[in-house]
Amino acid sequence: MDRILPRVSNRPSEIRQTDARLVLAFVCATAFTVVLNGTMLPVALPEIGSALSLGSVALGWIITGYFLVNGVAIPFFGRLADIYGVARLYAIGLATFFLGSVLCTLAPGFATLMAGRLVQGAGAAAVVGLGPTAVSLVFPAEIRGRSLGLVGAAVGAGAAAGPVFGGAVTDLFGWRILFAAGVLFGALVPLASRMLPRGAGSPESRLDLAGGVLFAFALGGALLALTRGAEVGIRDGVFLASVGVAVVASVLFVFRQATAPEPFVPRALLANRAYVWLCAATLLLIGVIVAVEVAVPLPLAQINGLGATQIGLVLAPSALLTVVWGPVSGRLVDRLGVAAPTALGAAACIAGVVLLSGFGVGGAAWVTAALVVVVGVGITLGKIATSTGVSLTVPEENLPSGIAVNEMVWICGISVGTALFTAVAAARSGAPDPLNPFHSGPGVGYSDAFLVLSIPLVLLLLTTPKLRGAGKKRSR
């Protein structure tokens, strides 16, 4: 296939429709595989621990380390794609993920497995950060939401299939086979170079390596502090050291950003008010992801007494709904713009977490499942709206960085939301009365934590008028 040439949002005649669909299929397939790899691993942790004689702390870092590296690497791939083009960096990301998968598959012990997971996290950053960019470059603005909605559907399918697939494969063939799908990425590297769009690409630009290193230390320190603080508390030495690194690196990064001729984060992004508001909306939306992925399983296990398989069945309807609701959400965004779907998504999420606070904690499992579906509807609609807005607001020369930074905000926000939820749940665990008058019975801490998650969502709802112009103005 001939290499697809640049962005066609205002030049649709420059690309064949078949080629655009192939790009979409390629991005969806790789996104599905990366998400599947992440969601099927937790159910295999007990067997991995038994096989490699690992304790709970080491097993936890197999998951945590992946996401720490992933969050830091996303903006690097975005900035490098600004300079060298999307196709080349996407291929490098797939090759990196392939290498990490090989290390994980063959790992004789914890050190090799941990190294493989860190390498996987770096490679997956290209798929997360550049996949939406590749799709945005080949589909016109009027159907951008629909195309990104299909990517969201692929992500939802991976999330839904992961626990079931992971459990079945682990039981039948062992945990090492779980990484085999990532090994197949090696065959996709040459396809990525040929199939995906180059984008604007400015080889004459330079990467601000010093700024990037400071950014990595600032972000990595903050993510590690949030993770460690949620696990062991704020008096821990690692937590305090991480906070110190994050603060110092952040100060130095701000100075570098202001003085570098070509800073790590393009100044055009920070000067774009619509883009800044979209990133803020993304940050405010993330608390509900925590409600689904982290918060809901805890009371189901501790109060309802459900096992891992039963909890998976409670969460499965929401994940499966994303497969159908993702494309529908994209069509709504194409028709209504960014602001209205974001507001509707925020409203659905508010209703879901408030009702979870009142009736989900300690209630019947089917009630929790239904409320998680409500939250899932809001998450999908809001995420696709903000992602589409970013793709339409940022000029092509900064599109990879713009989308990558927004995706990084999403991942960082999950860490913030997790820390917030666990802190409130712990602080209010011994409270005699819940903040939500509709809650009764055990689990006051969890009920109050769910209610607190509604606060950033209310702020999001109040700020959606700022998004009315998002996507309508774009430099060409």
We report the CATH number of the domain holding residue 419 as: 1.20.1250.20
Cα distance between residue 135 and residue 170, in whole Å:
34
Domain identity same for 289 and 166: no
Tokens of 405: 């930074």
Residue 301: CB partners within 8 Å, gap ≥ 6? 307, 311
| The last residue of a domain, from among 206, 226, 247 | 206
Reading the chain (476 residues) residue by residue, the pLDDT tens digits are 333 333 333 343 345 555 888 999 999 999 999 988 888 888 788 889 889 998 877 888 888 888 889 888 999 999 999 888 899 999 999 999 999 999 999 999 999 999 999 999 999 999 989 999 999 988 888 899 999 999 988 988 888 788 778 878 888 888 999 888 788 888 888 888 888 887 656 666 788 889 999 999 998 888 888 878 767 777 888 889 999 999 999 999 999 999 999 899 999 898 998 899 999 898 888 656 665 666 788 888 888 888 767 887 888 888 888 888 999 999 999 999 999 999 999 999 999 999 999 998 888 999 999 999 999 899 899 989 999 999 999 888 889 999 999 888 887 777 777 777 878 888 888 888 899 999 988 889 889 989 988 888 999 999 888 887 665 544 44
Residues 213 and 83 in one domain: no
Does residue 137 share a domain with residue 238? no
**Maximum distance among all Cα pairs of the chain, rounded to whole angstroms:** 67
Task: From 180, 206, 232, give the residue that closes a domain.
Answer: 206
65 shares its domain with 176: yes
- Crossing angle, helix 110-138 and helix 45-52, to 10 degrees? 150
Q: Quick one: 43 and 188 in the same domain?
A: yes
Given a contact cutoff of 8 angstroms between Cβ atoms, the answer to whether 41 and 62 are in contact is yes
Tokens (6 digits) for 420:
């917030």
Tally of domains in the chain: 3
Q: How far is CA 306 from the centre of its chain?
A: 27
Looking at the fold, whether 133 and 171 belong to one and the same domain comes out as: yes
Distance CA(143)–CA(131), nearest Å, equals 16
Same domain, 368 and 448: yes
309 and 198 part of one domain:
no
Residues 144/338, Cβ–Cβ less than 8 Å = no
Q: Which amino acid is at 28?
A: C
Range of the domain at 118: 1-206
* Phi–psi pair at 429, nearest 5 degrees: -65, -30
Distance of alpha carbon 446 from alpha carbon 439, whole angstroms: 10
Q: Where are the alpha helices (DSSP H) in 260-307?
A: 267-271, 273-285, 287-290, 297-302
Q: Is 205 helix (H, G, I), strand (E, B) or coil?
A: coil
Torsion, CA 240, CA 288, CA 298, CA 314, rounded to 10: -150
Alpha-carbon span 10 to 144, nearest angstrom = 12
Instruction: Clarify whether residues 418 and 453 are in a common domain.
Output: yes
Q: What is the pTM of this model?
A: 0.84
